[in-house]
Amino acid sequence: MGGQIPEASFRTEHGFAIKPELSLDKGPANGLLMGQNAPREGFEAIYLGKHAETPYRNVWLDTRGAHVLYVMGKRRSGKSYTLGVLAEGLAAQSWVKQGESSQGVLILDTMNVYLTMPFDIENTHSDQSDVVKEFRKWKLSTEQLPMTLFRPRGTTTPTAVNSVEIALRPSDLGSDEWCGLFEVDPFVDPLGHLITELYAKVLTDGYTDSRSGNFVPPNPNFLLQDLLIALEYDHDLDRYHRDTREALRRRLDMLRRVPIFSDTGLDVRQLMRPRHISVLLLRELDQQMRAVLVALIVKRVMQLRGVSEQQERMITIHLARADKLSLSDPTASSREKELAEECQHKAREGLPRSWIIIDEAHNYIPSHGVMPSRKPLKKYVDEGRNLGLSIVVATQQPSGLDPSIQRNADMLLIHALSHHDDIVAAEGMINAACPAEVAIDTRQKIEGGRTFETLVRNLPLGYALASTDRANRLFPIRVRPRATVHGGTDY
Ligand SMILES: Nc1ncnc2c1ncn2[C@@H]1O[C@H](COP(=O)(O)OP(=O)(O)O)[C@@H](O)[C@H]1O
Ligand SMILES: [Mg+2]
C-alpha cells in the first residue's frame, strides 16, 4: 500500500506568514507529520492537506499511534468534509495512505451527510467542473474505496444507494441504556429504580409470576414482551407507585412500535472491518435512540477489541520465542509457532484496530443532561488508546462538550469559529503555543495577545489550525479535496 507520492507544488489560495518558524516531525516525502508518538523507521500516515505557509509542504497525520482527534468549527466551516478526508485516507490504497496498517473505520453519521460517499468526484462531475479541476491539481486519484452504508431497521435510503440494515435485540440494551432511552436518572428517579430492578429480574434473577405462582427463570435473550409481563405480574414490583409502573408500561409499549427492535441483534464486527469504511446513518432516529445505539456500539467495540489486543500481544511473544528456540529446541519452537497461529485466529474473532469518527459529537457527549452514550464514550476516549482504538469527534460547539473529553485530545483541527465561548474553549484545548505574530495573505497583520481569536475568526473555508504537542506552535493547513462526493447541503 502507499504508492509514489506525486509532486504537486502550488501555493494554497490563502497564505499565512507566521513567526516563529514551524518545527514539526518529518512526514513522507519531506512533508510534515502530525501526531507521531516517537520517531520510527517508515511511516504509517494519511494525507491531510497542505501547510498554508511557504513552502506549502504536505501535511500527514500519523496512524501508527492511536489518537483522539477533535475537529471543531462553526456551522459550514468544513468539519464534516474533513472527517470524510480522514475516512477516505484510512481506507485508501493509493498514495494518500502510506504504510501497511489496515484499520476499521466507522462513521457515526448523525445527519446522513455521508450518504453520498459511495459516489466519487471524477465519475459524478464533468471534467470541466471546478471540483474535478481542483481534485486533479492536487494530483489525487479516484479509487474504489471499500465502503458499506448501514441503516437502522425501519429507516430508508434512496434507491440508488445500497445500504445494509442493522437492528437491536431488546436484550442488547443494559439497564443504563434503558434508563437513557427513557431519559431517567437510574439513581434519583423512582422510574429509574423500577427500570433497573425490572431489568435485573428479567435478565439475571428471575421472579415469581403472580398468576400461576411459578418461578420465571432469568432469560438473557428476553424480548420487550417479557419486560411487560414481569412488570404486570411480579407482585414484588407493587412496592412502586402505580403511576410509576404505568409510566414504564406505557414507555415499553410504545417501543414495540419502534422498528429498530427485532430478534436479530447487533454484531459490531460487521461495522468494523479492516480497511473498510462503515457509515451508520443515524438521522432518522430520535436523539435518545441514536445515543443508545452509539453507546452499545462503543461498549461492544471496546470489549471485542480488548480480546483481540491481548491475543495480538501474545503473538509477538510466541513468534519471538519460536525464533529464539529454532536451533536449540525445534519441537518447542514449532509449538510456539502453533500458539502464535492460535492467537492470530482468536484475535480475528474480535476486532481489528479501528477508528470511530463521530460527526455532531455534542449530541453524544454533551456537557449537561442524561445521555446513555456519555459514559461509554468517555471510557473510549480515556482507555481506547491502550487498545489501539482511535476516535475523531467533530463539533460546532466545543464549549458544549463534556469537559473531561475536552482535556483528552492529542490533536486538534480547528476550523473557523465565531462564538466567544467556543473560541475560549478551543483555546483552552490547544496543546501547542499560539504564534505571536501572524500575517494572512500579507494584508492582515495580527500581533499581540489576541492572535488565536483573530486567526480562528478569519480562517477561510477548508482551512484549519492544527494543534499537536509535537509542534512548537499552531499551524494552518488547507484540507485536501475529497475523492468522494460530500453531502453537506447548502441551505
Ligand atoms: N476542504 C474543503 N475543500 C473544498 N470545499 C470544502 C472544504 N471543506 C468544506 N467545503 C465545502 O464547504 C461546505 C461546508 O462544509 P461542511 O464540512 O459540510 O461543514 P460543517 O460540517 O462544518 O458544517 C460544503 O459544501 C463543502 O463542500
Ligand atoms: Mg457537518
pLDDT of residue 1: 59
* Secondary structure E strands in 92-191: 97-98, 104-109, 147-152, 163-166
SS3 call for 192 = helix
pLDDT of residue 488: 66
| Residue 326, domain member (yes or no) | yes
Q: Are residues 37 and 117 in the same domain?
A: yes
Atom of ligand 1 nearest to the CA of 85: 1
Q: How many CB atoms neighbour CB 146 within 10 A?
A: 15
Mean pLDDT, the chain, rounded, equals: 92
In this predicted structure, the answer to whether residue 416 has a pLDDT above a threshold of 70 is yes
Averaged over 411-437, what is the pLDDT?
92
SS3 call for 475 = strand
pLDDT of residue 225: 92
d(CA 229, CA 303): 31
Q: Are residues 77 and 27 in the same domain?
A: yes
pLDDT of residue 450: 79
Q: Are residues 142 and 246 in the same domain?
A: no
Give the residue, 390 or 4, on which the prediction is more confident.
Answer: 390
| Residue 154, domain member (yes or no) | yes
Averaged over 19-27, what is the pLDDT?
93
| Residue 3, domain member (yes or no) | no
d(CA 240, CA 243): 8
The answer to whether 216 and 206 are in contact (CB under 8 A) is yes
Terminal Cα-to-Cα distance of the chain (whole angstroms): 39
Averaged over 179-187, what is the pLDDT?
89
| Residue 261, domain member (yes or no) | no
Q: Which of 193, 220, 255 is the last residue of a domain?
A: 255
Q: Are residues 339 and 460 in the same domain?
A: yes
Domain that includes residue 294, residue range: 16-167+269-479
Nearest CA to ligand 1 atom 11: 78
Atom of ligand 1 nearest to the CA of 81: 17
Nearest CA to ligand 1 atom 27: 486
pLDDT tens by residue, 290-316? 999 999 999 999 999 999 999 999 999
Q: Are residues 288 and 435 in the same domain?
A: yes
Q: How many CB atoms neighbour CB 19 within 10 A?
A: 12
pLDDT of residue 264: 80
Q: For residue 363, how far is its CA from the centre of ligand 1 (angstroms)?
A: 20
The 8-class DSSP code of residue 360 comes to: S
pLDDT of residue 37: 87
d(CA 316, CA 339): 11
pLDDT tens by residue, 217-226? 999 999 999 9
In this predicted structure, the answer to whether residue 251 has a pLDDT above a threshold of 80 is yes
Of 123-127, 328-332, 436-440, the one with minimum mean pLDDT is 436-440
The DSSP code sequence of 226-277 is HHHHHHHH-GGGGGS-HHHHHHHHHHHHHHTT-TTB-SS---GGGT--TTEE
Q: Are residues 273 and 353 in the same domain?
A: yes
Provide the CA 327 distance to its chain's centre, in angstroms. Answer: 46
Q: Are residues 163 and 278 in the same domain?
A: yes
Give the residue, 435 or 78, on which the prediction is more confident.
Answer: 78
Q: Are residues 94 and 148 in the same domain?
A: yes
SS3 content of the chain, % helix, strand, coil (to 5): 40, 20, 45
Q: Are residues 294 and 421 in the same domain?
A: yes
Ligand nearest to the CA of 486: 1
Query: Quick one: what percent of the chain has pLDDT higher than 70?
Result: 99
Instruction: State the cell numbers at 63.
Output: 496512524
Q: Are residues 75 and 197 in the same domain?
A: no
| Residue 8, domain member (yes or no) | no
Atom of ligand 1 nearest to the CA of 74: 22
| Residue 40, domain member (yes or no) | yes
Give the residue, 366 or 265, on which the prediction is more confident.
Answer: 366
What region, left, alpha or beta, does residue 379 occupy, with left being phi > 0 and alpha being psi -120 to 50 degrees?
alpha
Q: Are residues 311 and 458 in the same domain?
A: yes
How confident is residue 489, by pLDDT bands cut at 50, 70 and 90? low
pLDDT of residue 211: 95
| Residue 234, domain member (yes or no) | yes
Q: For residue 79, how far is its CA from the centre of ligand 1 (angstroms)?
A: 7
How confident is residue 371, by pLDDT bands cut at 50, 70 and 90? confident
pLDDT of residue 365: 93
The best mutation among 81, 393, 489 to test binding of ligand 1, ranked by most ligand atoms within 8 Å of the C-beta, falls on 81
The 8-class DSSP code of residue 478 comes to: E
In this predicted structure, the answer to whether residue 404 has a pLDDT above a threshold of 80 is no
Q: Which of 202, 233, 255 is the last residue of a domain?
A: 255
Quickly tell me which residue has 442524561 as its cell: 370
Instruction: State the cell numbers at 428.
Output: 483552552
- Provide the β-strand partners of residue 465: 414, 476
pLDDT tens by residue, 125-176? 999 999 999 999 999 999 999 999 999 999 998 988 899 999 999 998 988 8
In this predicted structure, the answer to whether residue 490 has a pLDDT above a threshold of 90 is no
Instruction: State the cell numbers at 447.
Output: 500581533
Q: Which of 222, 255, 288 is the last residue of a domain?
A: 255
The CATH number of residue 357's host domain is: 3.40.50.300
Q: How many domains does the chain have?
A: 2
User: Would you say the C-alpha torsion 162, 168, 172, 173 has a positive or negative sign?
Assistant: positive
Q: Are residues 246 and 285 in the same domain?
A: no
| Residue 144, domain member (yes or no) | yes
In this predicted structure, the answer to whether residue 322 has a pLDDT above a threshold of 70 is yes
d(CA 45, CA 331): 40
Averaged over 194-214, what is the pLDDT?
96
